[in-house]
Amino acid sequence: MPTNKSVSKAPITQFVNCRILRDHKLQREDLWVREGRILDPEKLFFDEEGYADQRVDCEGLIIAPGFIDVQINGGYGIDFSQATSNVRGGVALVAKKILEHGVTSFLPTLVTSPPNIYHKVGTTSTPVLSTCPFQICKPHPPGLALQAGCHLEGPFISLEKKGAHPEQYLRSFQSGGMLDLIETYGTLDNVAMVTLAPELPNSEKVVRELAQRGITVSLGHSVANLSQAEEAVQNGASFITHLFNAMLPFHHRDPGIVGLLTSDQVPQDRTVFYGMIADGIHTNSAALRIAHRAHPTGLVLVTDAITAMGLPPGRHTLGQQVIEIQGLHAYVAGTKTLSGSIATMDMCVRHFKQASGCSVEQALEAASLHPAQLLGITRCKGTLDYGADADLVLLDDAINVRATYIAGQEVWRK
Amino acid sequence: MKLIILNDYDQVGEWAAKYIRNKILRFNPGPDRFFILGLPTGGTPLGCYKKLIEFYKKGEISFKYVKTFNMDEYVGIPRDHPESYHSFMWNNLFKHIDIKSENTHILDGNAANLVEECDSFEEEIKAAGGIDLFVGGIGPDGHIAFNEPGSSLLSRTRVKTLAQDTILANARFFDGDLSKVPTMALTVGVATAMDAREVMILITGVHKAFALYKAIEEGVNHMWTVSAFQQHPQTVFVCDEDATLELRVKTVKYFQGMMHVHNKLVDPLPPN
């Protein structure tokens, strides 16, 4: 069909017979896409007298914004914290495979590592794209989920709450703060998020400086009390890394970091978001419900997936470890010690909905809108608003992923 | 005139939609003969539009060779404002059917020169060959389009200041804030609508009953501008029972008695 549009000759796709997530509701509306972005069809009609060049029949499926995973350590045998000979290739492999789970943007996460790992991996694992929110909105490599910057989880964390992080590489802000950061990480150019323990001396300056640079500061692997956590939030921290895990448990006279969910010391115009690993294993469903009910708009689903995610059941040797996969559990082989999460993002969305009893819209937003709000990229990600990037996930009513689109192009179909 | 009296709002919408469908199908439009439709906005025609969309989706009708001219549009609110008549037509009709944008005509309330905009609208109607069927509603004050009480019965498309009653009635669409309601609008004139080859007016609800009485049982009067259609050779008034509450029993019985004849106009056409 000859194009008739006065603004652009690029082809227009109209997704019909679908329900789209817009304004927090699933609505029976068509979705229009041109040049990789969501198009306003009313403007097209009246301003350009245009119409669609092709229609995609969604057969009644749900269209949601592509999921955003802000904590993923690897998968399919790839470990983002390993300095292999082909770091970029490894990250790209994961970026391709997670499309099957509906994830269209992610932050490759590096656990506590020695400086040389950060220097080698941190700078090469993400392509040239900067984490500056406005530059994320540029088109990214076709057919892959967008690597929107690294999440550096550590090494400035608490010894008591190190979890599975290697003790010998933990660090403190002994040189005053930012110097320690640059010394350790090398560069902050491709960093989107840093998890740190705010009770470490000199952390205030670091939190402020990182926040000012547009890097999300997350509190985690910490024994901070509520006041210390609140002070960090006032200095710019906006996220909690995997709530409940690797922090002091909720206590009614000092709720610790968990207390941020209902703290009255959070500045009016800001929201504290919190990551939840909703795989049914890392967090008891009752705890998940308590957090969700206390602060539903801050909940961000994360997978915290490890190298073994996506691998078939059985034994696998990953680096120095032998892991055994049984169902959704990944154990250190021969033991019942959990060695990390292997749930996929769509599994987490399904489990979250089922465990919390929330609506489909809320479950989908916890994996798309909320992480986009956390990262400050809602102008182009996490929504189906006009002008946003057309990163889409098509789902059935049971929240199974049927197809994934990046910039309006189909990149995976079941 | 034909006065079609039905039980309720839904029946009015369905009858009107079937009437329009049959008119278009009988006309048999094509690439060099378009069917020209005049269209209203507001609560009254919504049911009719829903039914037309249903007929389109069932394959009973196509709008490919239909041109539309809307009656009016507010002055000064952005075209994509949710209460603009452009938005109304897009959301309630255009986006659901196969009509081409270049075949739709809605007055531009943000035109640099409003008088020129109105004049060129009249020219466009003339260029299209005049309107085949003008569908309209009626205000509680008996107005057709925005031809408020006192509008000349010979008026053409022009800028109108809205009556206080109309502004109050519209406030509910602007968060109840009177300061947000537009005070001016562009509207086709009474004579513009009278020029159409056929006119269909939809009236539903008790609050329109007095206006209907004034329009068809009293004289032609510029205070009740819909009354002008008493002098049009082909007018159909489609209303529900509530809207007849101010009419004489004799009028109602007369037209109810003719329903079996009038209903033939909306029977499905024989396939050919």
Task: Return the pLDDT at A123.
Answer: 59
| Chain B residues within 8 A of A40 when measuring between CB atoms | 80
Cα A270 from Cα A230, distance rounded (Å): 12
- Compute mean pLDDT per 10 residues along chain B, 272 residues long, and list them: 97 98 96 97 95 96 97 94 95 96 96 96 97 96 92 96 85 88 96 98 97 97 96 97 97 97 94 74
Task: Return the pLDDT at A189.
Answer: 85
**In this complex, do A46 and B86 lie within 8 Å of one another by their Cβ atoms?**
yes
**Residue of B270, B252, B125 lying closest to B197 (CA atoms):** B125
Q: How confident is the model over A407-414, as a mean pLDDT?
A: 94
**Higher pLDDT, residue A403 or B163:** A403
pLDDT at residue A333 is higher than 90 = no
Q: How confident is the model over A257-266, as a mean pLDDT?
A: 96
Task: Return the pLDDT at A140.
Answer: 65
**In this complex, do A45 and B102 lie within 8 Å of one another by their Cβ atoms?**
no
Answer whether A50 touches B (CB < 8 Å).
yes
Q: How confident is the model over A345-367, as a mean pLDDT?
A: 97
Answer whether A43 touches B (CB < 8 Å).
yes
Q: Tell me the nearest-neighbour CA distance from B266 into chain A, angstroms.
A: 30
Identify whether B141 is a catalytic site residue.
Answer: yes
Task: Return the pLDDT at A124.
Answer: 58
Residue A319: pLDDT band by 50, 70, 90 thresholds? Answer: low
Three-state secondary structure of chain A: CCCCCCCCCCCEEEEECCEEEECCEEECCCEEEECCEEECHHHHHHHHCCCCCEEEECCCCEEEECEEEEEECEECCEECCCCCCCHHHHHHHHHHHHHHHCEEEEEEEECCCCHHHHHHHHHHCCCCCCCCHHHHCCCCCCCCCEECCEEEECCCCCCCCCCCCCHHHCCCCCCCCHHHHHHHHCCCCCEEEEEECCCCCCHHHHHHHHHHCCCEEEECCECCCHHHHHHHHHHCCCEECCCCCCECCCCCCCCHHHHHHHCCCCCCCCCCEEEECCCCCCCCHHHHHHHHHHCHHHEEECCCECCCCCCCCEEEEECCEEEEEECCEEEECCCCCEEEECCCHHHHHHHHHHHHCCCHHHHHHHHCHHHHHHHCCCCCCCCCCCCCECCEEEECCCCCEEEEEECCEEEEEC
Task: Return the pLDDT at B247.
Answer: 98
Residue from B148, B195, B222, B262 carrying the catalytic annotation = B148
Residues 6+ apart with CB under 8 A from A378: A369, A372, A388
**In this complex, do B101 and A45 lie within 8 Å of one another by their Cβ atoms?**
yes
Task: Return the pLDDT at B165.
Answer: 81
Which of A30, A45, A48 minimises the CB distance to B94?
A45
Identify whether B143 is a catalytic site residue.
Answer: yes
Does A242 belong to an annotated binding site? yes
Task: Return the pLDDT at B246.
Answer: 97
Task: Return the pLDDT at B170.
Answer: 84
In tens, the pLDDT along B128-147 reads: 999 999 999 999 999 999 99
**In this complex, do A49 and B100 lie within 8 Å of one another by their Cβ atoms?**
yes
Task: Return the pLDDT at B210.
Answer: 97
Region of A40 please: left (phi>0), alpha (psi -120 to 50) or beta.
beta
Answer whether A371 touches B (CB < 8 Å).
no
Task: Return the pLDDT at A122.
Answer: 64
Which of A30, A40, A49 minimises the CB distance to B102?
A49
The torsion of the CA quartet A67, A352, A402, A316, rounded to 10 degrees, works out to: 80
* Reported ipTM: 0.90
**In this complex, do B86 and A50 lie within 8 Å of one another by their Cβ atoms?**
no
Does A340 belong to an annotated binding site? yes
Does A253 belong to an annotated binding site? yes
Does A292 belong to an annotated binding site? no
Token couple for B129: 């060959």
Q: Give the residue on A whose Cα is nearest the Cα of B89.
A: A42
Residue from B86, B143, B222, B262 carrying the catalytic annotation = B143
Q: Tell me the nearest-neighbour CA distance from A4 into chain B, angstroms.
A: 11
φ/ψ of A403, rounded to 5, equals -160, 150
In tens, the pLDDT along A6-28 reads: 678 899 999 999 999 999 999 99
Range name among A2-6, A28-32, A130-134 with the lowest pLDDT average: A130-134
Q: How confident is the model over A332-341, as a mean pLDDT?
A: 80
**In this complex, do A42 and B101 lie within 8 Å of one another by their Cβ atoms?**
no
The CA distances from residue B247 to B209, B213, B257, in Å, are 8, 5, 15
Mutate to test the interface with B, among A46, A47, A48, A51 (most CBs of B within 10 A): A46
Chain centre to alpha carbon of residue B78 = 23
Token couple for B260: 């079996």
**In this complex, do A42 and B80 lie within 8 Å of one another by their Cβ atoms?**
yes
**Kind and range of the H or E run holding B192:** helix B190-194
Answer whether A386 touches B (CB < 8 Å).
no
Answer whether A231 touches B (CB < 8 Å).
no
Range name among A35-39, A112-116, A358-362 with the lowest pLDDT average: A112-116
By DSSP bridging, strand A12-16 and strand A54-57 are parallel
Range name among A161-165, A262-266, B37-41 with the lowest pLDDT average: A161-165
pLDDT at residue A131 is higher than 70 = no
Residue A397: pLDDT band by 50, 70, 90 thresholds? Answer: very high
**In this complex, do A46 and B95 lie within 8 Å of one another by their Cβ atoms?**
no
Residue A282: pLDDT band by 50, 70, 90 thresholds? Answer: confident
Task: Return the pLDDT at A5.
Answer: 62
Task: Return the pLDDT at A6.
Answer: 67
Answer whether A45 touches B (CB < 8 Å).
yes
**In this complex, do A42 and B95 lie within 8 Å of one another by their Cβ atoms?**
yes
In tens, the pLDDT along A78-89 reads: 998 888 888 888
Q: Give the residue on B whose Cα is nearest the Cα of A45.
A: B101
Chain centre to alpha carbon of residue B29 = 21
Give the three-class secondary structure for B260.
Answer: helix
Range name among A112-121, A374-383, B211-220 with the lowest pLDDT average: A112-121
Please report, rounded to a whole number, the percentage of residues in chain A having pLDDT higher than 90. 71
Residue A133: pLDDT band by 50, 70, 90 thresholds? Answer: very low
Which strands sit side by side in the sheet containing A62-65, from one edge to the other?
Answer: A25-27, A19-22, A62-65, A392-395, A401-406, A409-413
Interface size A-B, in CB pairs within 8 Å, comes to 25
In tens, the pLDDT along B246-264 reads: 999 999 999 999 999 999 9
**In this complex, do B95 and A51 lie within 8 Å of one another by their Cβ atoms?**
no
Q: Tell me the nearest-neighbour CA distance from B125 into chain A, angstroms.
A: 18
Start-to-end C-alpha separation, chain B: 30
Q: Tell me the nearest-neighbour CA distance from A41 into chain B, angstroms.
A: 8
Residue A62: pLDDT band by 50, 70, 90 thresholds? Answer: very high
Residue from B14, B72, B73, B240 carrying the catalytic annotation = B72
**In this complex, do A30 and B87 lie within 8 Å of one another by their Cβ atoms?**
no
Q: Where are the domains of chain B?
A: 2-27+51-238
Task: Give the active site residues of A.
Answer: 304
Q: Give the residue on A whose Cα is nearest the Cα of B78.
A: A43
Range name among A148-157, A241-250, A331-340, B76-85 with the lowest pLDDT average: A331-340
Task: Return the pLDDT at A40.
Answer: 95
**Which residues of B have a CB under 8 Å from any CB of A?**
79-80, 86-87, 90-91, 94-95, 100-102
Q: Give the residue on A whose Cα is nearest the Cα of B98.
A: A51
Task: Return the pLDDT at A152.
Answer: 94
pLDDT at residue A130 is higher than 70 = no
| Chain A residues within 8 A of B91 when measuring between CB atoms | 42
Mutate to test the interface with B, among A23, A42, A385 (most CBs of B within 10 A): A42
Does A165 belong to an annotated binding site? no
Does A221 belong to an annotated binding site? yes
Question: Which CATH number does B2-27+51-238 carry?
Answer: 3.40.50.1360
pLDDT at residue A132 is higher than 50 = no
**Higher pLDDT, residue A77 or A6:** A77
Answer whether A42 touches B (CB < 8 Å).
yes
Cα B167 from Cα A30, distance rounded (Å): 33
